[in-house]
Amino acid sequence: MAHHRAVAQPATPTPRRIGVLLVNLGTPDSPSYWAVQRFLREFLADRRVIDSSRLLWLPILYGFILPLRPIRIVRKYRGIWMDEGSPLAVLSSRLAAKVAALLHDRHGDEVRVALALTYGQPDIRGAVAGLCEQGARRLLVLPLYPQYCSSTTGSVFDRVSGVLRGRRWVPETRFVNGYHDDAGYIDALAAGVRAHWAQAGERPHLLFSYHGIPARYVERGDPYQAQAQATTWMVVSRLGLAEGEYSHCYQSRFGRLAWLQPYTVDVVRGLARQGVRRLSIVSPSFAVDCLETLEECAIEYRDEFLRLGGESLALVPALNDADRHAEALAGVVRRHLMGWLPAES
């Protein structure tokens, strides 16, 4: 009598797709004290963001910063909050949707796009899981930071790596660590400045204000400062600006450490005292508008400039979900997908 061993039927094959994960920094869920405190706790406890000794830093964080700092920041968030939510979250979502549409138009259902935030929701763990559930067997991670910085881009790498370490099956993964000199990105920045000037009917002094980092991070090898300077130089070249028609500086200093200089507030004050009466300020390190652009640049620096005799300081909007921006990012994605996608004729 023959004996037959039961053999399980093969599972229905899952489509082998490519997942593209866009990641921005993060934001509170609401402009409330406890939501802001939760966000700051996660953000400022990240060793990539603050690399000081935990024995020194954590008592300061939990004893002074977390109880007090949200009180001031809540007021700022309430001044910029959109009907749909936080500007960073809303604008990042719109941008991701446009990038997804462009990739779908070119590659059909083979590429899926998801947005995640390093701190807050939607989180990286859920976004990676969602892409894998949709059949992603290859993963491209694109942090929405044009200039590489350990505090931002490096944190994305850490979070994604931690998520993948916990998965039984790990997708083949590529990581984009910056696009500060990408031609599409530079063209989009220059176009944004030109559009701003055209609407204003003038061409004021242009202030390039990048998010600052502690100077010691650069001394230890972080390329952020060099990449920020390269971005400024390329945009200045596109716009045909001469020496004296623009300035390069760094904002958002935190704590007592020496950060990258010159500080934006000092440059704003210096220009006002030199007799400059009109300023345009652009922040190329921010993919979308957020607290640092909508409140710090557009309100704080404007008020300081006017106080010292300036007549106007206007924010050049971040690239946000502009078509040029989405097209530039889709181009970055396609270049990094070479070898994963069929060659186009």
Q: Report the CATH number at residue 282.
A: 3.40.50.1400
Residue 5 confidence class, pLDDT cut points 50, 70, 90: low
User: How far apart are alpha carbons 171 and 128 in whole angstroms?
Assistant: 10
How many domains are contained in the chain?
2
Per-residue pLDDT, 331: 98
User: How far apart are alpha carbons 172 and 170 in whole angstroms?
Assistant: 7
Per-residue pLDDT, 344: 63
Per-residue pLDDT, 15: 63
Q: Are 192 and 86 members of one domain?
A: no
Residue 11 domain-assigned (yes or no) = no
Phi and psi based region of residue 244 (left: phi greater than 0; alpha: psi -120 to 50; beta: remaining): left
In sequence order, what E strands does the chain have? 17-26, 111-119, 136-143, 172-175, 205-211, 246-251, 278-282, 312-315
Residue 14 confidence class, pLDDT cut points 50, 70, 90: low
Per-residue pLDDT, 342: 79
Q: Are 191 and 160 members of one domain?
A: no
Matching residue, tokens 């400039």 = 305
Q: Are 157 and 34 members of one domain?
A: yes
Q: Are 59 and 175 members of one domain?
A: yes
Whole-angstrom CA distances from 187 to 66, 191, 233 are 40, 6, 13
The 10 Å Cβ neighbour count of residue 308 is 13
**% of the chain with per-residue pLDDT over 90:** 91
Which pair of structure tokens corresponds to residue 345?
A: 């004729």
Residue 193 domain-assigned (yes or no) = yes
User: How far apart are alpha carbons 229 and 147 in whole angstroms?
Assistant: 10
Indicate whether 12 pLDDT > 80: no
Which pair of structure tokens corresponds to residue 33?
A: 């004290």
**Greatest Cα-to-Cα distance within the chain, rounded to the nearest angstrom:** 103
pLDDT tens per residue across span 50-109: 998 999 999 999 999 999 999 999 999 999 999 999 999 999 999 999 999 999 999 999
List all residues 6 or more positions away from 40 whose beta carbon is below 8 Å from its beta carbon. 65, 66, 69, 70, 73
Q: Are 159 and 80 members of one domain?
A: yes
Q: Are 36 and 155 members of one domain?
A: yes
Q: Are 173 and 187 members of one domain?
A: no
Residue 2 domain-assigned (yes or no) = no
- Mean pLDDT computed over 120-138: 96
Indicate whether 345 pLDDT > 50: no
Residue 39 domain-assigned (yes or no) = yes
Indicate whether 2 pLDDT > 70: no
- Mean pLDDT computed over 161-171: 95
pLDDT tens per residue across span 244-283: 999 999 999 887 789 999 999 999 999 999 999 999 999 9
Q: Are 235 and 167 members of one domain?
A: no
Residue 126 confidence class, pLDDT cut points 50, 70, 90: very high
State the chain's mean pLDDT as an integer.
94
Residue 232 domain-assigned (yes or no) = yes
Q: Are 82 and 151 members of one domain?
A: yes
Contact between 207 and 267 under an 8 Å Cβ cutoff? The reply is: yes
Per-residue pLDDT, 341: 86
Per-residue pLDDT, 254: 84
The residue segments making up the domain with residue 120 are: 17-179+324-336
The 10 Å Cβ neighbour count of residue 324 is 17
Element (H or E) spanning 126, and its range? Answer: helix 124-133
Residue 7 domain-assigned (yes or no) = no
Residue 215 confidence class, pLDDT cut points 50, 70, 90: very high
Strand bridging mode 136-143 / 17-26: parallel
Per-residue pLDDT, 8: 52
